[in-house]
Amino acid sequence: MRFLAGLGNPGRKYEGTRHNVGFLVVDRLAERWNIDCTKVQHGALVGSGPIRHEKTVLLKPQTFMNRSGHPTRSVVGYFKGQIDELIVVHDELDLPFGAVRIKKGGGHGGHNGLRDLHKHMGGPGYIRVRVGIGRPPEGWETADYVLGKWNATEKDSLAGVVDTAADGVELLVSDGLEAAMNRFNVRPGRGRTGSKPAADQTPASAGGEKL
């Protein structure tokens, strides 16, 4: 069994914001695999069904970003799952917009959704699908940036970015972590065979959002 948690903030106010890209990826996978992810359970919207022949529980915590840990832990516990069965999709300031990288463990880098997950899951031993949103422009507060709407250029590419992240989740489910990292974590200009994973397998920097 696999668990897929997309991080974000609930409510219309936060729809279309950079911080909610995790919700978009869960929604895309629910659409692809005909999974109804609308049941309210343990403080999250939950749905389950097969993804590439593997039973997968999709969840979107509804307790706001900085309290993502408790509903995630509750859903995983309800299904008697383990931390290494959990995949978390989240926005990443330390990657350029559109980049998708996969890693297991690492620090929270100031991301309070991850911080709370570390606390409630007993550590960082889950898999992360990191979706790059880039750094805020000079003079912007980080909070304003991550809670801001996608700009016009980003909107034009967003569907493709979400599809790429969903592809990464599917590969994780079907082929495992190593195969997914080899596919997604390569430096630009290098082929997949024999390529070294990108530096983002190490913990994120201490900077980052505080939401």
CATH number at residue 158: 3.40.50.1470
Tell me which H or E stretch contains 29: helix 21-32
Residue at 211 is within a domain: no
Residue at 180 is within a domain: yes
Average pLDDT by stretches of 10, the chain with 211 residues = 97 96 98 98 98 97 96 97 97 96 90 94 96 95 95 97 98 97 78 37 33 61
**Residues with active-site annotation:** 19
Per the structure, how many domains does the chain have? 1
pLDDT at 107: 86
Range of the domain at 121: 2-201
CB contact burial 11-39 (16+ within 10 A = b; e otherwise) = eeebeebbbbbbbbbbbbbbeebebebee
Residue at 120 is within a domain: yes
pTM for the full model? 0.88
Q: What is the pLDDT of residues 119-145, one digit of tens each?
A: 999 999 999 999 999 999 999 999 999
Q: What is the pLDDT of residues 81-97, one digit of tens each?
A: 999 999 999 999 999 99
CB contact burial 180-206 (16+ within 10 A = b; e otherwise) = bbbbbbbeeeeeeeeeebbebeeebee
Name every residue whose Cβ is closer than 8 Å to that of residue 7 and which is 6 or more positions away in sequence. Answer: 19, 22, 23, 61, 65, 68, 88, 89, 90, 91, 113, 114
